[in-house]
Structure 1
Amino acid sequence: MQTVLTAKLKLNTTPEQFKALRTTQLAYRDSLNYVSQYAFAHGKMSNAVRLQDATYEEIRLRFHLPSQMACSVPRQVGASYKTLWTKVKNNAVHRKEGKTKKRYKGLDKAPKFISPTLTYQYKKDYTFKKEQQVSILTLEGRVIVPYTGYNKHVALIQRGAEIGASKLWYDKPKKQFYLLVSLEIETADPTPETHKQVAGVDVGMRYLAVTATMQGDCTFHSGKQIVPKANHSARLRKRLQKKGTRSATRRLVAISGRERRLKQNTNHVVSKRIVQQHPQSLIGLEHLTDIRERTKRRKGKNAKQRKANRTFSKWSFAELHSMIAYKALLHRSMAIKVDANSTSQACPKCGHTCKENRPNKGLLFVCQNCQYTLHADLVGARNIAMRTLLIRQDWRGTGLLSVRAFCVG
């Protein structure tokens, strides 16, 4: 079974190499916006082959990109338009079913590419050399740059991991280039015999994650110290954006990414603890797709509605799920999606389900049928664990998983 990792390599460039990479990045971004405008003007085209046939020569002449980069640009733009068309179609279905009244506006104008992140193809645009060096293509030809990175990732690159495409990312506040390299490593194929244990993971704001097993073990991963810091960064960013002065803009640049890095680091720590506590297990995660559409929110365009909307978007739970998924494979476990419907309202003892089981939507769960009482988040984790156990039983009996396992890539 193939598992995809991303290795973050720091490029130690000279001033001349730095200038060459930056010029190439900006030219690549300008070509993306040119192709995006062309696609929008010609029926919001998403076919990468047609886009390449129509824009390849102009990209080479106007932006002087090498041939492989000139081929990558239409593919990237076409993929972006396909994603937007999917969102438009899904929004139309949701509006028809009455799940939302808002119309998706992502294709009302041509998408604009702001980030200068550049895509490289392995063995065509970049290759690895000996002594931790990488050869990278620029507008002025190839440059050979030394790199450093996480020791385990560097070892995988040097010892035969399957290397894929990479992205040249520029950290503007630090004025530093990084190469984000896709690596594929081989992991053992999961079977019911190798995954004898099950665990359920419930996510939330009071506790970022709560885990439970069928043996009664449980773990609480609190967000008490982290979430207020993230909220403070969000409030600070909002005030600076509202002020709009030059000094406020400089301050925004200085603190840009701080909130994102804090959340990402916390998710890494929490996901690592979870998978280390449950080796060779089947880990159940809630299926949170379209959770915003399925969750009731306040009506009207007022401060209360905006506050409620922010509450649903405070933490990147999808990122936490994806980290648990790929780290689980590295620890000989596997993460799967289970139905998230009423996990915190269903009694794990008698099965009675109603909103009144959680008085005032608080931390205490009290079953109105059998009076079973427990921490509400732990009830959610136990329900997820039981649903995961049912999936494992079906897997053992039929040889097929009844739900799709996470595919990280």
Structure 2
Amino acid sequence: MKLTISAKLKLRHTPEQKTALDAVTLAYRDALNFASEKAFKLEKTSSAPKIHKAVYETLRDQEGPFRLGSQLACTVSRQVAASYKTQWTKLKQNISARQKGFTKRRYKGLDTAPKFVSRTLEYQYGRDYSWKKNGKVSVGTLAGRLVLEFDGYQKHLDLIQAGAETGAAKLYYQKSKKQYYLIVALNIKLPDPQPTDHQKVVGVDVGQRYHFVATNLNGQSLFEKGAAIHHRKDQFSRVRRSLQRKGTRSATRRLVALSGRERRFVADRNHVLSKTLLTRFPGSIFGLEDLTNIRDRTEGRSNPQSSLRARRSRRRRSQWSFAELQANLAYKAPLHGSLAVQVDADYTSQACPRCGHTSKGNRPNAGLMFVCEVCGHAGHSDRVASVNIALRTLLVRQDWMSTGALSMRPDVSDVEVKVARLSRYAELRWNPDTNP
């Protein structure tokens, strides 16, 4: 089993070395914008070979404004092509959303050529950068190679020292600290997981009122409320709205200073939550809901005349970072001797785990209380959902033991296969009294 992690290395550069790094990052950014303009003129193409053919000689010209190396020139074409492909995907999603009435706004990302602002470039291992002895790294610049010392997280440094397989890296400039960092992809080899190594099963239901509710097969649950995070996000929104209304130069400077602070706050919170789950339920198989396209299925039509409460609800729903929390849990789990799999999210909060009755009426007024219409089983709706997820994860583990093959994500390409899978879920029952 191979796992990829990112190591952030702080480069120890002198003022002269920083000048050389400034030159290559600025030239790379200008090359990206040049290639973006060319791609826009080529009917907004997302084809890397077409962009490469149009810009390569200009980027490589040592008498020209860019003077990039061959590998960096190739990387420019690929990065611009990927950016245009993303823009086309967003445009198609916007057209679909407008047809369904979810929004009236037209996506304008391809009205002009995408502009690159960040001074971040991508290095390829063995061509643009390489490791040296005594904890040093060699990176390419316009004037040749620089050999720099670096600092970082000790576990990451140990992996590099031990010769871990290295992938591409990004040279990143942090303007506030006037400091360059190298973000390196490290590929770690771990033993292949076995079902006998993961005998504990935990269902994790993610939401907005509660960031997650986790329940194991012994009936032990862990609740993580989201009220404090909502208040903090609302505070960010009020400050940002107030500064935007003022529109003064000082307000703009303040907005720049605040940019990214909310994003870093949410990312840190998701890291803490994922680590909390892993330390509370060590060595477990974590079941996560497959929430692909959840917003398309749940968001209603936008209404400019809606109330303040409705607008706040839409904003919170759009800021719901469930995918980041699940991704953090998935990549950290193997490092802690655990595993994360996805199961179908259909009817997890509407199905009774005691008798199997499934109905919207089991959740009166779509609230937090679950009351089965048939057997009368009552409880917290998010906990009931986590119980159903745990049962489905247990079924995944049983299939893994019987077939020897583990499905990390349910196959949704075949409708008949999914219907058969949901039929199996309907036969699952929960009775903590019989659990070991």
Asked if Structure 1 and Structure 2 have the same fold, meaning a TM-score greater than 0.5 normalized by the shorter chain, the answer is yes
After superposition, the C-alpha distances for 1:238-261 in whole angstroms (9 at most, x for unaligned) are 322332211112212222222112
SS in structure 2 opposite 1:350? Answer: coil
Could you give the per-residue CA deviations for residues 299-340 of structure 1, whole angstroms, max 9, x where no partner exists? Answer: 323454643321212332211111100111112222111112
8 Å contact kept, 1:4–1:183: yes
Q: Distance in 2 between matches of 1:217 and 1:331?
A: 20
Displacement of 1:95? 6.6
Q: Structure 1 79/299 Cα, relative in aligned 2: closer, same or farther at 3 Å?
A: closer
**1:256-310 C-alpha deviation (Å, 9 max, x unpaired):** 2221121111111111121223333221111122111111324323454643321
Deviation at 1:51, TM superposition (A): 1.7
CA contact (8 A) 1:344 1:376 kept: yes
Aligned position for 2:274: 271
Any conservation in 1 of the 2:102–2:301 contact (CA below 8 Å)?
Answer: no
Letter in 1 for 2:251: A
Q: 1:192–1:354: structure 2 CA closer, same or farther, 3 Å change rule?
A: same
Secondary structure of the structure 2 residue equivalent to 1:221: strand
Q: CA deviation at 1:365?
A: 1.7
Give the equivalent residue in structure 2 for 1:241: 244
**In structure 1, C-alpha distance between the alignment counterparts of 2:260 and 2:103, rounded to whole Å:** 32
Deviation at 1:101, TM superposition (A): 6.0
Indicate the residue corresponding to 2:418 in structure 1.
Answer: none
Q: In structure 1, how many angstroms separate the alpha carbons of the residues matched to 2:355 and 2:364?
A: 18
- 2:240, 2:140 → 1: CA distance? 36
Q: For residue 295 of structure 2, what is the aligned residue in structure 1? A: 292
Post-superposition offset of 1:155? 0.8
Q: How does 1:344-383 map to 2 (within 5 A)?
A: 344-383=349-388
Based on CA coordinates, which of the two structures has the bigger radius of gyration? 2
Counterparts of 1:257 and 1:392 in 2: how far apart (Å)? 40
Q: Which runs of 5+ in 2 are unaligned?
A: 411-436
Tell me by how many angstroms 1:212 deviates: 0.9
Confirm or deny that 1:113 pairs with 2:116.
yes
Matched residue, 2:59: 59
Structure 1 residue matching 2:358: 3-state secondary structure: coil
Corresponding residue of 1:139: 142
How far the C-alpha of 1:359 sits from its partner, in A, is 2.8
Partner of 1:259: 262
Instruction: Please give the alpha-carbon distance, in whole angstroms, between the structure 1 residues aligned to 2:313 and 2:112.
Output: 29
State whether residues 297 and 308 of structure 1, in contact with CA within 8 Å, keep that contact through their aligned partners in structure 2.
Answer: no
Match of 1:152 in 2: 155
**For structure 1, which segment, 158-167 or 273-282, has the greater mean C-alpha deviation from structure 2 after superposition?**
273-282
Q: Which amino acid aligns with 2:153?
A: Y
Partner of 2:424: none
- 1:179 maps onto 2:182 in alignment: yes
C-alpha offsets along residues 17-65 of structure 1, whole Å, 9 cap, x if unaligned?
2222223222211211221221122122222123212210112233121
Q: How does 1:10-409 map to 2 (within 5 A)?
A: 10-61=10-61, 62-89=65-92, 98=100, 100=102, 104-304=107-307, 306-404=311-409
* Mapped contact 2:341–2:407 kept (Cα < 8 A): no
Q: Distance in 2 between matches of 1:298 and 1:88?
A: 19
2:4 alignment partner AA: V
Q: Please tell me whether the aligned partners of residues 136 and 142 of structure 1 are also in contact (alpha carbons under 8 angstroms).
A: yes
Alignment partners' CA distance in 1, 2:101 and 2:352: 27
SS of residue matched to 2:195:
coil
Shift of 1:87: 4.2
Cα distance per residue 1:178-237 (max 9 Å; x no partner): 111100000111232322222111112222111111221211123343332233123212
AA at the equivalent of 1:249? T
Distance 1:395 1:105, change over 3 A: farther
Tell me how far apart the structure 2 counterparts of residues 302 and 11 of structure 1 sit (CA, whole Å): 52
User: Does the residue aligned with 1:226 lie in a helix, a strand or coil?
Assistant: helix
CA distance in 2, matches of 1:13, 1:361: 58
Q: Distance between the aligned counterparts of 2:241 and 2:127, measured in 1?
A: 43
Task: Quote the Cα distance in structure 1 between the aligned partners of 2:299 and 2:240.
Answer: 28
Q: 1:336 to 1:302 in 2, by over 3 A?
A: farther
Gaps in structure 1 of 5+ consecutive residues: none
Q: Is the alpha carbon distance of 1:238 and 1:24 closer, same or farther for their aligned partners in structure 2, counting shifts above 3 Å?
A: farther
Aligned residues: 404
Q: Give TM-score, length-normalised by structure 1.
A: 0.91
Query: 1:362-391 deviations in whole A, cap 9, x for unaligned?
Result: 322222222211112211211111111122
Quote how far apart the aligned CAs of 1:90 are. Answer: 5.3
